[in-house]
Every structure is written in structure tokens, then in C-alpha cells.
Amino acid sequence: MNIVHQFLNLAQAQMLGLRSKTAWERLGRRLVVGAVPAGHVSRQEGTAVGVGVHPVVRELGRGRYVVALDWYEVYGLDQTEAVDGSPTTTVVTVEEYKAEWESRKTSGDIRSSSDTPTPIYSFVAPSEAKTASKSLKDKGLTTKKNRDTSPPKKSAVNNDSWAYVPSGLTADDRAKLGADVELAYCVMHLIHYWRVRQALPKDAYIDMSRDYCRERLGGKQGANWDRTRSLMLESGIMERTDTHDITDDYGLGVSVSTPRGVEGNRAYGYRLRADLRHSTFRRTPLTDPRAIRASRPNVSGYTLRWLKRNLMRITIVPVPDDVLRAIAEADTDGTGTVEDRVDAYRETIRWIDEGAWQFEPDGFSGRVHTNITNLKRELRPYLRVDGKPLCAVDIPCSQLAFIGLAAKAAARQHRKQFVDDDFFATWERDIYQHLADGLSLDRKTVKQQLTQAGLFASNRSDHQKTAVMRRFKAEFPLIAEYIRATKNYKPKATDPQETKDKPYRVLAQKAQTYERQYVIDTVCDRLRRERPDMFATTIHDSVLMSRDDAEFVRLVMLDEFSKHNLNPTLKVEDYAKDQ
């Protein structure tokens, strides 16, 4: 068993004089040709049963290991060389640092009761200015009042941190928002983003829950959202609707108004002032660290960062207006008018064209949402990487496949059979078509009634009574029982409010989690390790790549399915043929 012994923590690496490649480059040095890492620093660790794809840091016994979920390589000074023309920086070794420390202690320059030097947090030789420090009290940083009233530190503009802000916002509007102006930019961006994503009219109210906004804007107990919302509402920059009219489900024709923002009811709806929501939104850089954190979700792990870098390689060629209108007219599932949908398509294309990339793993299942996942399928033929159109490998009937894998895992845990003997064999042949043939329906109708309605709706929903659902339950009673039992989940006190309100969504969470584990954690992670220079990105249950890599990706996906004793039919979809 190959257990990696060279894993270090940050302090250990610093005491050994080891730094990452990027850190050495900042000091004007580069790695020599053929340099082998002197060690690895683990950013994030976890525990695992058995040895998998993550390198092992140490063994815990009884088949359990501490594994590195995220790490980077470090190198020593002797593995680097100075870069010609780069500004030189004095770099000291650990021995020189200790000698300097002892010399300063002996001369009285440093007053310390400890004989052990502090960990080296910089390998740049310390200056007199760094060693001469003042107490926190002298700097005025000891009271809570000073910390709360100090203005936020402004950092340099980061091109990756931006928000789309209406051009009609005036200097007077910005003055009313004060120090929270860039947090307000983030709110404006979110309202605009969700309106475009849902293809709603510009005058529509956008539902945004308090929990979502508090989590997105941060601050202690959601203070940033509460404060910014109040400022925007009081200044008239943003408007809120408090009620929502609904019609009685029993068909009595009674229109009742239910309060918004109440636990269990619909969230408040927000929109910007009339002149703002009808003006052009322009990409605006952010400098406030609070706004930067709100606009840029944390992306950790090699595979996710690799996918994000790949996403930034995508360009889009111009799409004719008549094509956009034809797509909008054929979009029977869309919201708003045809003009609203055309406007949403144009804005989505503009974001890609301007390089305004969105890459956000959700907290529900870890699924990644990007500009491409939100792009209409009919517009994918206009995407390019290095000037070439893309291909995709899609998993047919994927939701049922991942539900089946979740049921297999539950069967092992509970020692009870949850999967019918012929379920996966039917899935491999196309389960939608199988049900359609038995009911004399078309495949699209079966897919809509099964996965888009029946499977993920409440057990009490009328969607459970359709002919497709009745046929599915009759042919696959074991998997149908697993689905029913999973949607009858009893929420726990620690569950999020959304799960408490709709416990049947646990089934969708399980299916999407297994999808993410297969597509991102397994397939894409393998692609990154075996072909790090290739382009690949995901659209939930499918992988996009260039035409040259399509067959390789298909074989990798088949190989990973074979580890579950599955052999589906995976086809390569060439978008160049659809244009």
C-alpha cells in the first residue's frame, strides 16, 4: 500500500524552507528543469474508508485513513534559480534565519523569553521595520468599537470580482448607500441575474429568500443583507412586494392573499426602481472585500478549479436575431413573453462574450451552475474553444440511473433489496422508450410525466396518479418503494428550513449528489489527472469537450460505469452539425 509520507502542514513546510511554485515566482525565482517536489502541503483533509482517488496522509487503523482532499507541491531553495530581469529579493535559509534570530536576541534587538524562533511566515530577510512592533493597545485595535467603526480596507481591483450595475444609478443614489454601496451592487446584480435566468419581464418581482441573501452577502448573522436591504428600500432604489395572490386549490374560485416573508410561505419579491430596471446593466469592478466575497463563491479542490479555468476558455460567435426569436417562440416551458425570452438570451450571450463567468457549486448537492448550464441547448452550437465547436457526451435517463445507484447503496446499508432485477438492464436500453412503447405514448411525454413531474413531486401530488407513474410502479415495485420511502423523510431539527418545508426533495438531493459524484468527482477528476491540458466542462449530467477528445471522454465514462456493473449506450453529440 502506497501511503504518502511527505505530507506537511504549513508551519512544517515553512520551517524546512519550502515554498510553492507560485510563491517562489513572486520572489523572482523559478523552478529548475526536472525539479521534483520536496513535499506536499495539505490544505484540506478528511477521513476515508479504504484507499480511493485521494492521496493518503496517514493511516488510522481498521481500514480508515486520513486523506488529502486538497493540496499543493512545495520546493526548496536549491530547486530554484533566479529569473533574469526579475527584481531580486533576499532569500534566507532556515539556518540563516535562526542565526539572525539568535544574533538579534543577543544584541537586545528582540526581547523574547523563548529560545525557539517563531515559524517563518516569509522567507524574505526580516527588516528592522518588521521587528520593531507596537502593542495592539498603542495601535488602537483593542476595543470592539474601533473594529466596528473602522472603514473596510480597500483592496486592489480584481478582474474576477464584478457585478452588473444599472447605468441609471446616480451619484446621489450612491451617496445614500454610503459604505455599503458595493454590497448594494451585489444585490442589484442578483436581481438582474435571476430575472434573466428565469426570462421574466423587467417589471417582475424576483423572489429571493432571506436565508439565501444572508448567506450570499455574509456578515454576522446576515447583518450585511439586513442593513443593505433597509438602505435600498428606504432610499427607493429597490421595491418589495409583500403579498401574493393565489387561487384556492379546491376550485372554489376564491382568491386569497397570503403574507410573504413568513416561514413556510413564499419569499419576498424584489425589483429595482423603474428607471434602473429598464436601463442597461454594465459590468462594474468591485473593490470592497465584503462585496468581493459575496460576488465570488468559494471554489475549492483541484477538479473544480480546473473546470473553472476551462470555462474561461469558451467564446461564442454571433447568433442571428431570427435564430433567437425562433428559439423563444418554440420554448413552451419558458416564462414571460417571446420578447422577454429573446432579451434574456441576448443578455446571457453578452455575459459570455464579455467574459463575465459564473461558476457556483450549490449547497443542495454540489452541482455546479455556470453560464453554460443556464444557456439554451439550441445556442450550444455557437460556443467555441480555440475557434472550434464543441461536442457533448450525455447520460441517457440519468436521473433514474443515479436514483438506482442511491438505492443500491441503501440496500447495502439496510441489507434489503431496493432495486428490481431488470431495472438497470431496462435503463441501459432506454427506460423512457420502454415505458412509451407499453403505453403507446411518445418518449417526450413519458420523460415529462416521470422525471419532470412524478418522481420528484410529493407522494400526495396528483402527478403520482398519471398513467406513466402507475406503469412505472407496476413494472419496478422495489425501486418505486425506495422512491416513496425516501420522499417520506422525517426532517431533523438540524435540517435546513427548505428540507423541513419540503422533505420530499430529499430524493432529488440524493439523485443530484450521485450525479455530481459521478460526473465531477469521478469522470472530470480522472480527465484532469490523465489529460490536464484538455478542455472539458459540465452541464450537470453531461460533459462538453472538443471533437478531438470526445471518444476519449466517452470511453472514460463507460469505464467508470463498468465499475458499477453498468453498460449504458453513450453517444457523442456534435454541436457543429446542429448549426
The answer to whether residue 553 scores a pLDDT higher than 70 is yes
Q: Residue 346 — very low, low, confident or very high, per pLDDT cuts 50/70/90?
A: very high
DSSP label of 19: B
**All three cell numbers of 316:** 461564442
Three-class HEC string of 218-257: CCHHHHHHHHHHHHHHHCCCEEEECEEEEECCCCCCCEEE
Distance CA 356, CA 361 (A): 17
* Residue 332: exposure state from Cβ atoms within 10 A (0-12, 13-18, ≥19): exposed
**All three cell numbers of 155:** 483592496
Q: Residue 35 — very low, low, confident or very high, per pLDDT cuts 50/70/90?
A: confident
For the ranges 53-62, 167-176, 403-412, the lowest mean pLDDT is seen at 53-62
**For 133, phi and psi rounded to 5 degrees?**
-120, 160
Would you state the pLDDT for residue 9?
A: 78
Higher pLDDT, 372 or 134: 372
Distance CA 70, CA 40 (A): 10
**All three cell numbers of 428:** 441501459
As a whole number, mean pLDDT of residues 142-150 equals 42
Enter the pTM of the model: 0.69
For the ranges 24-38, 122-136, 182-196, 498-512, the lowest mean pLDDT is seen at 122-136
pLDDT digits over 440-464, tens only? 999 888 888 888 788 888 888 888 8
Asked if 403 and 397 count as a contact pair (C-beta separation under 8 A), the reply is no
Asked if 196 and 347 count as a contact pair (C-beta separation under 8 A), the reply is yes
Would you state the pLDDT for residue 578?
A: 64
pLDDT digits over 310-325, tens only? 999 999 999 999 999 9
Asked if 327 and 345 count as a contact pair (C-beta separation under 8 A), the reply is yes
What residues contact residue 67 under an 8 Å CB cut-off, 6+ apart?
Answer: 45, 46, 47, 48, 52, 54, 55, 56, 57
The answer to whether residue 33 scores a pLDDT higher than 90 is no
* Residue 478: exposure state from Cβ atoms within 10 A (0-12, 13-18, ≥19): middle
Q: For the chain, give the mean pLDDT.
A: 82
Distance CA 553, CA 447 (A): 26
Asked if 408 and 418 count as a contact pair (C-beta separation under 8 A), the reply is yes
pLDDT digits over 351-370, tens only? 999 989 889 888 888 899 99
As a whole number, mean pLDDT of residues 32-50 equals 81
pLDDT digits over 83-121, tens only? 875 554 455 555 655 565 566 556 554 444 344 333 333
Would you state the pLDDT for residue 567?
A: 92
Q: What does each C-alpha distance from 374 to 40, 54, 161, 326 come to in angstroms?
A: 37, 31, 20, 18
